[in-house]
Amino acid sequence: MVKVVSYAHGATRATASAQYIERDEVELETHSGQRLPDKAAVADEIKAWSLSFEKRQPSQDVVAVRLQLSGMRDNSEDRERLAAAAGAAFEGHRHAIRIEVRASGEIEARAVVVMARTISPEEKAANREARANGDVRPPLPPRLRVVEQRMGTTEEAPVRKVFDARSEAAMKARIETATGYPQHGISIEPATPGHGRDALGQRLSSFISKAPALDHLQRPISNADDIRDVTRDWGRLLRSQSPRDTMHMVVSAKAGTDVKVFTNAVRSFLHQQFADHKFMFGVHTDKAEAGHIHAHAIVAVRSESGAKLHPGPTDLAQWRVNYAAHAREHGLQIVATRAAEQASSRSYGPRDKSIVDVATNPRPERKEQDRAYARDTRNAKLIRNAEERMAIARANPVRIPMTERERAGVSESLEHWRGLAKADPTNETARTMAERLFVAKEAGDALNTLKTALSQKPAISTDPSPINKVRAPEMTENAERSADAMLRDLRQMNQRIAEVTSMLPEGSRERFTAQASRYLDKMAERIDQQRVQETKDPTRVETPVAARSLVSEQAQPAAGPAIPIDPMAELRRQQTEMLERLAQERVQSRDRERGHEAGD
């Protein structure tokens, strides 16, 4: 696995990332082969790198603002006009405002404003269309921007913060349009902008410390709970950006991998992939028994020639391929794959791990804050979801392809692994992956058959695999088919679902059977509706299914009237019996194969 964990800006953050790798006395090695035995050596190396670090500042994300319309007094009419002016000035931006009375008796609006404008649904649609067509996507709407203005002509003249000309002109024009107030009487004064969610929370806390405020939807913000909710909501819209100076990545191997061979493979990969970049790396073996042999690497984002790394999904995929090639050259059996190529659930990210770590293992320097975070019922769902994602990723159940694109990807990957297994029958990894992908494909195809049947379209599978020996019948319009015919179709589909379920590993069955049951229940409802229609139609001569048993007549008592049996309950019983039988057959088959292998 090759994964980018995080980025850092500035020497301080980059040093902290690098010294994290050095923990437990792990010696780091640089691009030039230099050994860094301790934290001081690591800090000195990063200090040397910092000469080429980005000088650009982090994005301006949130700002406190004072808005005045000259001559506005403390009366209801002027308060309404000033509130309308603030709403117009910050239109499209998340903001909170309150109106204060100055010592002179005039009123002014105080606000905390998100500097990035919210992207409208029309703009989102245009972005999606451009991405789908392969066109250049339209630029994001500009954000408010604060600059410094010197109040004089000398170097000693004081400096104040002002909105740049574009931002100020746009806000004043909107105010004039909304209120009719002339632009020359409008004053908009920003404070020093802040960066990120932390700054947003800090600005809001300071803002309401004197008096409550109202957000852009006229909802009150008056306490810590309100601030937490607002920060969580607005934080998604900050479009926050930080310059990137170093990249922290992880390269991992399976438990039991020879550490020296793994180290050589990682060194070779880094030198080839980042030949023009400074880097340092170290190998951690402290969790080898749990399968966590891995290497951490810190890579300078800017190369010696001035080019910068901007890795995307395609780049990461290529890095995995390159690392796998170097690993094989050093004798490690590694094949580069993506989660989709392994029918694997998506992995969890560093944010999930951070959420769980904070909730379960409070940091020594922030014990009280972390414990309060874990106890807060508002965070319970966030923590639970992160724990579930981590548990699923570690269990690695078979991921069932639900869309046409996913099924095509699984089919393509299946052919790839089958080819590798055929070329090298001793390749256990290829054989295992082929079996896993085959099961994923069958499960996806089975659900698609049910979904297609529900849409009343032909649903015959063309796959020659043995699992498809029970064919899904061609579905025609319900109005042209009797309930008996529809029930026969349902039986066949039920049988196929049972067969596929028996093939899935235990951890993957629940989702598959839940989804299949929903489809089967909907089909049963259609059968019931058709049966009702048949009882109302005098031209129908077929006997309603509800009046007959699904079991053979020989199974009925010799004397007495036949007891009607619920057809859906009988299907459920048959499915359970079939599943148990098929599971037993598969266990017996595996036992026989093991016996043959032992005999050989």
Q: For residue 440, tell me if it sits in a domain.
A: no
Query: Domain count of the chain?
Result: 4
Q: For residue 160, tell me if it sits in a domain.
A: yes
The reported pLDDT for the residue numbered 242 is 85
Q: For residue 71, tell me if it sits in a domain.
A: yes
Co-location of 191 and 322 in the same domain: no
Q: For residue 379, tell me if it sits in a domain.
A: yes
- Any idea what the CATH number is for the domain that residue 108 is in? 3.40.1310
Residue 222 DSSP SS3? coil
Co-location of 92 and 186 in the same domain: yes
Residue 146 DSSP SS3? strand
Co-location of 164 and 232 in the same domain: yes
Co-location of 582 and 537 in the same domain: yes
Cβ neighbors of 454 (< 8 A, separation 6 or more) are 519, 522, 523, 526
Decide: residue 3, CB within 10 A, 0-12 exposed, 13-18 middle, 19+ buried.
Answer: middle
Q: For residue 82, tell me if it sits in a domain.
A: yes
What is d(CA 137, CA 124) in angstroms, rounded to the nearest whole number?
10
Residue 175: name the closest of 187, 158, 191 by CA.
187
Co-location of 82 and 188 in the same domain: yes
Q: Are strands 246-253 and 220-221 parallel, antiparallel or unpaired?
A: unpaired
Q: For residue 276, tell me if it sits in a domain.
A: yes
Domain of 26, in residue numbers? 2-56+243-336
Co-location of 587 and 457 in the same domain: yes
The reported pLDDT for the residue numbered 247 is 93
- Any idea what the CATH number is for the domain that residue 12 is in? 3.30.930.30
The reported pLDDT for the residue numbered 471 is 40
- CA gyration radius for the chain? 33
Please write the tens of the pLDDT for every residue from 173-230: 999 999 999 999 999 999 999 999 999 999 999 999 989 999 999 999 999 889 989 9
Q: For residue 119, tell me if it sits in a domain.
A: yes
Q: For residue 519, tell me if it sits in a domain.
A: yes
Residue 276: name the closest of 243, 307, 245, 314 by CA.
307
Name the phi and psi angles at 83, rounded to 5: -65, -40
What one-character-per-residue DSSP string does 377-403 give? GGGHHHHHHHHHHHHHHHH-PBPPP-S
Which residues of the chain register pLDDT less than 50?
A: 457-479, 541-565, 596-598, 600
The reported pLDDT for the residue numbered 136 is 74
As a dihedral over the C-alpha atoms of residue 120, residue 122, residue 128, residue 129, rounded to 10 degrees, the angle is -160
402 touches 516 (CB < 8 A): no
Co-location of 27 and 159 in the same domain: no
What is d(CA 172, CA 142) in angstroms, rounded to the nearest whole number?
16
Q: Give the Cβ contact number of residue 560 at 10 Å.
A: 7
Amino acid in the structure at residue 42: V
Co-location of 13 and 121 in the same domain: no
